[in-house]
Structure 1
Amino acid sequence: MKNCIAISCAVLLGLGSAAAMADDDISREEAARLVEQGTIQSLESLEQKALSIKAGQITDRDLELDDGRYEYKLDIRSEDGTDWDITLDAATGDVIKTEQDD
């Protein structure tokens, strides 16, 4: 469990360099607390889930609270250059949305 928390914290530290945080985004500290409490899955496991749906490179990521549900939103650029938006339920890992970005 401590390894998962440490890995999640490391991933969270990288969030700041990957994207500017919007007003409705969850802070890195809050996200780490939610992972530690078991409210949401580790961000690393959610990223692995997203990459299993669309292989490529994560170009942006945001953890948000939307209508009472924590959602992890990722932008992925596939190897062919296509951009994808993937939204996961951060608590369950279920896919909420997968769509090609325009």
Structure 2
Amino acid sequence: MNTTAKLMIATLMGVAASSAALADDVPYNQVQSLIKDGTIQSLDKLDKVATDKHPEATITDTDLEHEYGRYIYQVELRDAQGQEWDLDIDATSGELLSEERD
């Protein structure tokens, strides 16, 4: 393997490592203490933000991440037409940050 190829591989590995450091899944056993401390809103309230945006949809998956110094609640939905949606919600404020149709 030549030097250029090795450098490219090392660079890609560094980018992957730094990306992983910017977004960490919050372990489930820490979620309740974040809610109790008022750091994030209750999961029921955050789920409601998503279902208010898509009233006929069903939540299929959720995930809480600590990303760029803030908590992001990621919600996957499937609407009545079978369309899938990904929503990112600020877990502290409840603000809808992004919405994307799959």
Shorter-chain TM-score tier: 0.7 to 0.9
How does 1:2-81 map onto structure 2 within 5 Å?
24-55=24-55, 56-81=57-82
RMSD: 1.1
Deviation at 1:49, TM superposition (A): 0.9
Counting aligned pairs with the same residue, the percent is 38
Equivalent position of 1:92 in the other structure? 93
SS at match of 2:64: strand
SS at match of 1:88: strand
**TM-score, with length taken from structure 1:** 0.74
Figure out how many residues of one structure are paired with residues of the other and give that number: 79
Computing the radius of gyration from Cα coordinates, the structure with the larger value is: 2
1:42-96 deviations in whole A, cap 9, x for unaligned? 0110001110011311111000000001000000000110000011000000011
Deviation at 1:24, TM superposition (A): 2.1
Q: Structure 1 CA distance, aligned partners of 2:96 and 2:49?
A: 9
Structure 2 portions without partners, runs of 5+: 1-22
SS at match of 1:35: helix
